[in-house]
Amino acid sequence: MTAGGTLPSCREVVDGLPEWSEGALGGGAREPYERHLEVCPPCGSLARTYQAVGALARAALDVEMPPRARERLRRALLRRVGGR
């Protein structure tokens, strides 16, 4: 996909994803960057899924400590406190 004129290239867009996804693209860089995302569907889709990966992993990898492990932790801490 050709982004055209003064817009950044696809490679520059991909390289700039960390800054863009953190809202850290400064100066006049943000507008041409986001214009590229609008006119280039592969980059637009790559950028949005890049941004979504962290939240998806946080939700999917969420775990709770098993009750027995909690109980063993509680006992280990009580032993330490009692041993002081």
User: What is the binding site for another protein (CB under 8 A)?
Assistant: 1-2, 9-14, 17-18, 40-46, 48-66, 69-70, 72-74, 76-77, 80-81
Q: What residues have CB less than 8 Å from 57, skipping those under 6 apart?
A: none
Residue 39 beta carbon to another protein: minimum distance, rounded to whole angstroms: 12
33 vs 7: CA distance, rounded Å: 7
Q: Which is nearer to another protein, 31 or 65 (by Cβ)? A: 65
Q: Which is nearer to another protein, 22 or 28 (by Cβ)? A: 22
Helix and strand numbers (H, E) in the chain are 5, 0
Residue 67 beta carbon to another protein: minimum distance, rounded to whole angstroms: 11
Most distant CA pair in the chain: distance in Å?
Answer: 73
